[in-house]
Amino acid sequence: MMNTLISVDELLALQASGTRPVLLDCGFELTDPAAGERAYAAGHLPGALYAHLELELSGPKVDREGVFRGRHPLPSRDDFAAAAGRWGIAPGTPVVAYDAQGGSYGARAWWLLRWLGHDEVWVLDGGLQAWQAAGGALTATPGVATDAGPYPARPASMPTIEAPALLGLLGRMRLLDARAGERFRGEIEPIDPTPGHIPGARSRPFKDNLAADGRFKSRDVLRAEWAPLVSGQAPDNVAQMCGSGVTAAHNVLAMAHAGLGDSVLYPGSWSEWCSDPARPVAHGA
């Protein structure tokens, strides 16, 4: 099984084998940051722990030099290693992340754990809805973790790029934007102060990775859709972005699941890029 997606049946088989994966409920709503916690309290997969996008899966919006780094910058490796340890994650621990939003937040946890050097992590395909559709029960009882201590330091295994480097590579690096098409084109911008996109970027809304039932499209379909987007580029020359670096991880996951390798994440994404008026902005398709 690739370390990308896991089906409900595969999760049940893993649990039946005696293995107890750490389950991370990553549900979140950008317009209501407390909604994910409320949904978790109302019902979640038995044993699941709640992973909060803004408290555990992101770092401070402003760095020590007072520079805005986007709406959801990466946490420091030390901070996220401590969070992983509190969830009971140690090297070799299987982890399954999920949400009720098409995997958009579960993919963030998946990416961060891969970045930390942890390979035994998957996103539950179809998330909470797929679990319930298969007859899986929900519980309101909070999950309990056994603190494993900070995750040991390992080399970062998922590539990233920062704004200055990306600026210097515009036109030479393939850049894909996971936001909805109307936001990419600059027709609307409900969150960030400036509409538009980075010049040379191509639109690939993360929802295009999903079938009508909320599960990811098959590996063959994803490969057929993604291959023309990357046009034979090496994965380390393909950068993924979105509004704040969160749903971009969904595109990283889809491309990896398609067998096209681990692409590069631009963590600051549009929210960071457009905060500097000196950076170029494009509109339209």
Q: 124, 242, 248, 274: which is the annotated catalytic residue?
A: 242
Active site residue 274: no
How far does CA 105 lie from the centroid of its chain? Answer: 5
d(Cα 12, Cα 8) in Å, to the nearest integer?
A: 6
Long-range contact pairs involving 40-43 (C-beta distance under 8 Å, separation at least 24): 41/140, 41/142, 42/140, 43/138, 43/139, 43/140
The residues carrying an active-site annotation are 242
